């Protein structure tokens, strides 16, 4: 009897993996990711060896290139995009909602916000705010469709968000046309919204960083701090507010949440909107800080990267930050691998290995911890009660 | 629990999708070092747009030029592909990586490299840059060359060939991705068909995918479906501008014993569609390989000139392929049209 009770109290493995449940003790918390990284590094080196390359020089080459100042800037910018995307995904994960639609949400949001920013000229802080708020609104509303479909018609959000991705792609293709939202550019192979005027842009962060004594070349996204703010807000809301509690509880046990007065339907819609609103931010650093327009060259597919980064980061704001930086580093340095005759596809393999090892190691460590706790409890019970002692021996 | 398995599956699939998307091709090859030490080795770096080597089309054409240069001159080459989720900054980083490693010749394939090359070229004045398909045919800098192609002109001629060969009076067009570049192919094709045979019915262009989904340049199954659709609408000549997806178009059209028109390279000679080659009427040639080869050659022999270079009918930078002899009977008409375009008597619309 006690046995079944114990297992039912533990969420099944997939839920634990998805929600980012891991070991609770401090030592395993730090040790598990390090162990996972060490294991994945070993596997990767073995693979590099198999492809005929020298693993040491390959990884050395990646580190050398990845630590040049130019690369650091690109890695920071890349990580900013990954981070926002992963947080958007993690908000859903925390409640057991799989928002696969982050990709469509951020692209549609960026496109419409870019068109708005190119058409409306407002003085300095208001133009930027208008674009950002518009993007969050569009992202949130687009995600809300999936939420509403789920609570009213019982449509799985997995299916509806995937469909909405396709619809967003079609919608963008329809609107990004010089008879509609795009600008006329004779003879161009590109098609883009009107550029956001000077006053509506966000300057690079380099000036601020150099006042701190960090001099970097290129342009660090001016909106990088937004990612940090989003991470902090995510952490506070999830862990220290009624809403966050409701969200986690709804995810862990919908029936328990219902019983304690949490409206599951409302939570689904609100969570989807929150996830979509953060998704709306993904394109903003690039739009306001680098490209100033939405064109065919606008980065695509970030929503899918976010799913992997969120899994790797265990849906924890800090974990996601490390995961985003790691993935950004790997992607940034993939070009350099060819120096040592390694096809850059190996980076995709590396990323897969890292995610799998982290997921597996976390789960193993978590189980080991649970078992050792149970043993500890059992032995304490055993010393405390004669009856139990008789029973165990 | 059932939902659980499903969710995990989806999460894992999503992760796999993402990983698949981020894994792009790339290869490094060195050769040409054996034919003598009298000449200095030129190091050529080539950066592809998404798709990369093996797309059976545009990128492969650039790769062919690179490989030919490698065979003819003393050059060392490296090529790198792009990722779909990258902004301009990554293209700049890629070009800087190549230029910084001492490649004297750096080539960006695809209009997406235009801005990146313009920026990076300033920092590396001793490196020569080429942008294939330079956007709006504009580049900046004394060390930059932009290659522009009049795709519409070549498409005009194959459009005329399609109209002249059609028995049903209906011809079709399948474009890979709905982007302005492919619109040019359709505009020229339609105009050429209507000029050669007034009253011909040119089916509305069928685009396989919408950006940023570039599968329409890669997935032959999409081409197959679209070709069936146009055959059902009575088209008996179908022109594709769909890269690797066009293989599906050609095979399907050939199986129905109708005419297919190839694109970019002379597809009559392409091994991937060898079984269908007798049904390939002609191909619209876009000599990206010539642009790449000539550029490397010009740097090698010191005749490099910056600015832009137009590849059109007048210098055979675009054209139609007569291989297989399927268009021999209408050659005089096509060449007459060609002459009129070169002389400026016919203005080919590009939109």
Strands lying side by side in the sheet with B128-132 = B26-30, B75-80, B42-47, B105-109, B128-132, B144-149, B307-311
Residue B294: name the closest of B73, B5, B11, B82 by CA. Answer: B73
Residue B337: name the closest of B179, B105, B106, B160 by CA. Answer: B160
Asked if B51 and B243 count as a contact pair (C-beta separation under 8 A), the reply is: yes
What percent of chain B has a predicted confidence (pLDDT) above 70?
88
Higher pLDDT, B172 or A31: B172
* Res B35: pLDDT: 40
* Range from B25-39, B270-284, B329-343 carrying the lowest mean pLDDT: B25-39
B76 pLDDT above the threshold of 60 = yes
The residue of chain A with its CA nearest to that of B88 is A297
With CB atoms and an 8 Å threshold, state whether B135 touches A351.
no
ipTM of the complex: 0.81
* Res A18: pLDDT: 64
Min distance A49 CA to chain B CA atoms (Å): 18
- Provide mean pLDDT across the span B220-234: 96
What percent of chain A has a predicted confidence (pLDDT) above 70?
90
Asked if A98 and A164 count as a contact pair (C-beta separation under 8 A), the reply is: no
Measured between CB atoms, which of A189, A299, A302 is closest to B133? A189
With CB atoms and an 8 Å threshold, state whether B1 touches A12.
yes
Whether B2 has its CB under 8 Å from any CB of chain A: the answer is no
Asked if B276 and B254 count as a contact pair (C-beta separation under 8 A), the reply is: yes
With CB atoms and an 8 Å threshold, state whether B212 touches A169.
yes
A21: confidence class by pLDDT, cuts 50, 70, 90: low
B212 pLDDT above the threshold of 90 = no
What is the DSSP track for B211-250?
TT-GGGGT-HHHHHHHHHHHHHTT-SEEEEE-GGGHHHHH
What is the number of domains present in chain B? Answer: 2
Min distance B250 CA to chain A CA atoms (Å): 26
Q: Flag whether B4 is in a domain.
A: no
Higher pLDDT, A230 or A29: A230
With CB atoms and an 8 Å threshold, state whether A338 touches B26.
yes
* Res B16: pLDDT: 43
Contacts of A110 in chain B (CB under 8 A): none
Min distance B225 CA to chain A CA atoms (Å): 19
Q: Flag whether B81 is in a domain.
A: yes
* Res A12: pLDDT: 63
B26: confidence class by pLDDT, cuts 50, 70, 90: very low
With CB atoms and an 8 Å threshold, state whether B18 touches A15.
no
With CB atoms and an 8 Å threshold, state whether B101 touches A339.
yes
Instruction: Tell me, yes or no, whether B179 and B138 share the same domain.
Output: no
Min distance A223 CA to chain B CA atoms (Å): 16
* Range from A38-42, A159-163, B13-17, B32-36 carrying the lowest mean pLDDT: B32-36
Min distance B259 CA to chain A CA atoms (Å): 29
Measured between CB atoms, which of B25, B97, B213 is closest to A336? B97
With CB atoms and an 8 Å threshold, state whether A18 touches B8.
yes
Instruction: Tell me, yes or no, whether B190 and B330 share the same domain.
Output: yes
Residue B339 preceded by cis peptide, ω within 30: no
* Res B158: pLDDT: 97
B56 pLDDT above the threshold of 90 = no
Q: Flag whether B9 is in a domain.
A: no
Q: Flag whether B114 is in a domain.
A: yes
B195: confidence class by pLDDT, cuts 50, 70, 90: very high
For A305-338, how does the pLDDT look when each residue is reduced to its tens digit (9 = 90+)?
Answer: 999 999 888 889 999 999 999 999 998 888 887 6
Min distance B115 CA to chain A CA atoms (Å): 11
The residue of chain A with its CA nearest to that of B20 is A348
Residue B111: name the closest of B32, B56, B182 by CA. Answer: B182
- Compute the 3-state secondary structure of chain A and give helix, strand, coil in percent, each to the nearest 5: 75, 0, 25
| B:153-182 residues touching chain A, CB 8 A cutoff | 178-181
Instruction: Tell me, yes or no, whether B163 and B298 share the same domain.
Output: no
What is the DSSP track for A134-189?
HHHHHHHHHHHHHHHHHHHH---HHHHHHHHHHHHHHHHHHHSSTTTTBPP-TT-S
For B91-106, how does the pLDDT look when each residue is reduced to its tens digit (9 = 90+)?
Answer: 998 999 899 888 999 9
Angle subtended by helix axes B180-196 and B151-165, to nearest 10:
40
Asked if B79 and B105 count as a contact pair (C-beta separation under 8 A), the reply is: no
Give kind and range of the element (H or E) at residue B286: strand B280-286
A220 pLDDT above the threshold of 90 = yes
* Res B7: pLDDT: 44
B24 pLDDT above the threshold of 50 = no
Average of per-residue pLDDT values in chain A: 88
Instruction: Tell me, yes or no, whether B64 and B169 share the same domain.
Output: no
Q: Maximum distance among all alpha carbons in chain B?
A: 73
Higher pLDDT, B16 or B283: B283
The residue of chain B with its CA nearest to that of A332 is B90
B131 SS3 class: strand
CATH code, domain with B105: 3.40.50.2300
Contacts of A345 in chain B (CB under 8 A): 23-26
Mutation choice for B interface testing from A99, A189, A223, A291 by most B CBs within 10 A: A189
* Res B293: pLDDT: 95
B155 pLDDT above the threshold of 90 = yes
For A182-191, how does the pLDDT look when each residue is reduced to its tens digit (9 = 90+)?
Answer: 988 888 888 9
The residue of chain B with its CA nearest to that of A283 is B87
CB pairs under 8 A between A and B: 157
Distance CA A231, CA A312 (A): 16
With CB atoms and an 8 Å threshold, state whether B24 touches A344.
yes
| B:82-111 residues touching chain A, CB 8 A cutoff | 83-90, 93-94, 96-97, 101, 111
Instruction: Tell me, yes or no, whether B193 and B159 share the same domain.
Output: yes
Asked if B82 and B49 count as a contact pair (C-beta separation under 8 A), the reply is: yes
Instruction: Tell me, yes or no, whether B170 and B260 share the same domain.
Output: yes
Min distance A238 CA to chain B CA atoms (Å): 22
* Range from A57-61, B203-207, B275-279, B303-307 carrying the lowest mean pLDDT: A57-61
Highest mean pLDDT among A379-388, B18-27, B211-220, B340-349: B340-349
- Provide mean pLDDT across the span A85-106: 94
* Res A385: pLDDT: 57
With CB atoms and an 8 Å threshold, state whether A345 touches B96.
no
Within a 10 A sphere around the Cβ of A207, how many other Cβ atoms? 10
Average of per-residue pLDDT values in chain B: 87
pTM recorded for the entire structure: 0.86
A269 pLDDT above the threshold of 60 = yes
* Res A67: pLDDT: 93
Q: Flag whether B133 is in a domain.
A: yes
* Range from A3-7, A90-94, B82-86, B233-237 carrying the lowest mean pLDDT: A3-7
* Res B214: pLDDT: 86
Min distance A270 CA to chain B CA atoms (Å): 20
* Res A358: pLDDT: 86
Measured between CB atoms, which of A70, A77, A305 is closest to B85? A305
B6 pLDDT above the threshold of 60 = no
Highest mean pLDDT among A45-49, A192-196, A337-341: A192-196
The residue of chain A with its CA nearest to that of B110 is A189
Q: Where are the domains of chain A?
A: 54-340
Look at phi and psi of residue A305 and say left if phi exceeds 0, alpha if psi is from -120 to 50, else beta: alpha
* Res B182: pLDDT: 93
Instruction: Tell me, yes or no, whether B156 and B278 share the same domain.
Output: yes
Instruction: Tell me, yes or no, whether B236 and B294 share the same domain.
Output: no
Residue A165: name the closest of B137, B147, B302, B212 by CA. Answer: B212
What torsion, rounded to 10 degrees, do the Cα atoms B178, B182, B184, B185 define?
-130
Min distance A169 CA to chain B CA atoms (Å): 7
Measured between CB atoms, which of A17, A290, A345 is closest to B23? A345
Instruction: Tell me, yes or no, whether B262 and B300 share the same domain.
Output: no
* Res B25: pLDDT: 37
Instruction: Tell me, yes or no, whether B223 and B326 share the same domain.
Output: yes
What percent of chain B has a predicted confidence (pLDDT) above 90?
70
Instruction: Tell me, yes or no, whether B224 and B326 share the same domain.
Output: yes
Whether B53 has its CB under 8 Å from any CB of chain A: the answer is no
Contacts of A308 in chain B (CB under 8 A): 14-15, 18-19
- Provide mean pLDDT across the span A352-357: 90
For A249-267, how does the pLDDT look when each residue is reduced to its tens digit (9 = 90+)?
Answer: 888 888 888 888 888 889 9
| B:6-35 residues touching chain A, CB 8 A cutoff | 6-8, 10-11, 14-28
Which structural domain range is residue B209 located in? 151-286+321-342
Instruction: Tell me, yes or no, whether B164 and B208 share the same domain.
Output: yes
What is the second-level CATH architecture of the domain A54-340? Answer: Orthogonal Bundle (1.10)
Min distance B111 CA to chain A CA atoms (Å): 7
| B:306-345 residues touching chain A, CB 8 A cutoff | none
Contacts of B136 in chain A (CB under 8 A): 185-188
Q: CA neighbours within 13 Å on the CB side: how many for B53?
A: 17
Burial class (CB in 10 A: 0-12, 13-18, 19+), B304: middle
Asked if B337 and B157 count as a contact pair (C-beta separation under 8 A), the reply is: yes
* Range from A104-118, A246-260, B48-62 carrying the lowest mean pLDDT: B48-62
* Res B23: pLDDT: 37
With CB atoms and an 8 Å threshold, state whether B112 touches A296.
yes
With CB atoms and an 8 Å threshold, state whether A14 touches B20.
no
A10: confidence class by pLDDT, cuts 50, 70, 90: low
């Amino acid at each position: 009897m006690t046995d079944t009770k114990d297992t039912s109290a533990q969420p099944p493995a997939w839920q634990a993996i998805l929600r980012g449940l891991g070991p609770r003790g401090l030592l395993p918390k730090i040790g598990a990711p390090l162990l996972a990284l060490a294991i994945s590094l070993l596997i990767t080196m073995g693979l590099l060896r198999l492809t005929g390359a020298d693993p040491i020089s390959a990884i050395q080459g990646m580190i050398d290139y990845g630590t040049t100042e130019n690369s650091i800037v690109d890695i920071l910018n890349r990580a900013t995009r990954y981070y926002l995307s992963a947080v958007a995904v993690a908000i859903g994960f925390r409640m057991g909602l799989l928002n696969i639609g982050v990709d469509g949400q951020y692209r549609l949001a960026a496109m419409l916000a870019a068109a708005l920013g190119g058409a409306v000229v407002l003085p300095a802080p208001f133009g930027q705010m208008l674009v950002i708020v518009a993007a969050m609104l569009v992202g949130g509303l687009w995600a809300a469709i999936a939420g509403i479909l789920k609570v009213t018609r019982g449509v799985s959000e997995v299916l509806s968000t995937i469909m909405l991705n396709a619809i967003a792609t079609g919608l963008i293709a329809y609107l990004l046309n010089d008879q509609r939202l795009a600008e006329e550019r004779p003879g161009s192979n590109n098609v883009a919204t009107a550029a956001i005027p000077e006053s509506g842009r966000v300057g690079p962060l380099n000036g601020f960083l150099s006042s701190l004594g960090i001099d970097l070349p290129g342009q660090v996204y001016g909106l990088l701090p937004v990612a940090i703010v989003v991470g902090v807000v995510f952490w506070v809301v999830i862990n220290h507010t009624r809403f966050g509690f409701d969200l986690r509880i709804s995810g862990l046990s919908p029936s328990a949440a219902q019983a304690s007065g949490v409206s599951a339907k409302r939570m689904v819609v609100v969570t989807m909107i929150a996830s979509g609103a953060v998704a709306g931010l993904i394109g903003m650093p690039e739009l306001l800080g680098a490209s100033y327009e939405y064109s065919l060259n606008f980065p695509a597919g970030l929503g899918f990267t976010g799913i992997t980064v969120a899994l790797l980061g265990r849906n924890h704001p800090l974990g996601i930050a490390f995961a985003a930086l790691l993935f950004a580093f790997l992607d940034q340095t993939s070009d350099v691998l060819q120096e040592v005759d390694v096809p850059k596809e190996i980076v995709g393999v590396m990323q897969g290995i890292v995610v799998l090892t982290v997921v597996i190691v976390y789960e193993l460590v978590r189980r080991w911890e649970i078992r050792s706790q149970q043993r500890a409890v059992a032995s304490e019970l055993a010393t405390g009660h004669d009856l139990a002692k008789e029973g165990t021996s | 629990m059932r939902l659980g398995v499903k969710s995990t599956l989806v999460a894992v699939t999503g992760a796999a999708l993402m990983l698949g998307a981020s894994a792009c091709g790339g290869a490094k090859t060195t050769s040409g070092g054996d034919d003598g030490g009298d000449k200095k080795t030129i190091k050529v770096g080539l950066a592809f747009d998404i798709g990369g080597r093996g797309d059976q089309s545009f990128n492969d054409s650039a790769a062919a030029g690179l490989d030919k240069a490698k065979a003819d001159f003393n050059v060392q080459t490296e090529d790198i592909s792009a990722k779909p989720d990258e902004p301009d900054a990554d293209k700049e980083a890629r070009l800087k990586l190549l230029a910084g490693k001492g490649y004297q010749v750096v080539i960006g394939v695809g209009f997406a490299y235009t801005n990146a090359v313009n920026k990076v070229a300033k920092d590396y004045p001793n490196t020569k840059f080429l942008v294939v398909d330079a956007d709006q045919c504009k580049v900046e800098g004394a060390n930059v060359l932009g290659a522009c192609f009049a795709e519409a002109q070549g498409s005009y001629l194959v459009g005329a060939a399609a109209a002249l060969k059609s028995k049903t009076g209906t011809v079709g067009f399948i474009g890979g991705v709905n982007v302005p570049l492919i619109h040019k192919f359709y505009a020229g094709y339609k105009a050429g068909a209507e000029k050669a045979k007034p009253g011909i019915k040119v089916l509305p262009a069928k685009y396989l995918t919408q950006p940023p989904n570039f599968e329409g340049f890669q997935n032959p199954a999409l081409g197959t479906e679209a070709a069936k659709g146009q055959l059902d609408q009575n088209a008996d000549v179908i022109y594709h501008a769909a890269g690797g997806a066009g293989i599906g178009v050609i095979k399907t059209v050939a199986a129905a014993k109708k005419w297919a028109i190839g694109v970019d390279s002379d597809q009559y000679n392409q091994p991937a569609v060898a079984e269908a080659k007798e049904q390939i009427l002609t191909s619209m040639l876009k000599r990206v390989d010539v642009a790449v080869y000539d550029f490397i050659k010009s740097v090698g022999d010191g005749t490099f000139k910056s600015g832009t270079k137009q590849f059109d009918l007048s210098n055979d930078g675009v054209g139609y392929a007569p291989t297989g002899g399927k268009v021999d009977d209408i050659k005089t008409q096509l060449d007459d049209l060609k002459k009129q375009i070169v002389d400026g008597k016919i203005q080919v619309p590009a939109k």
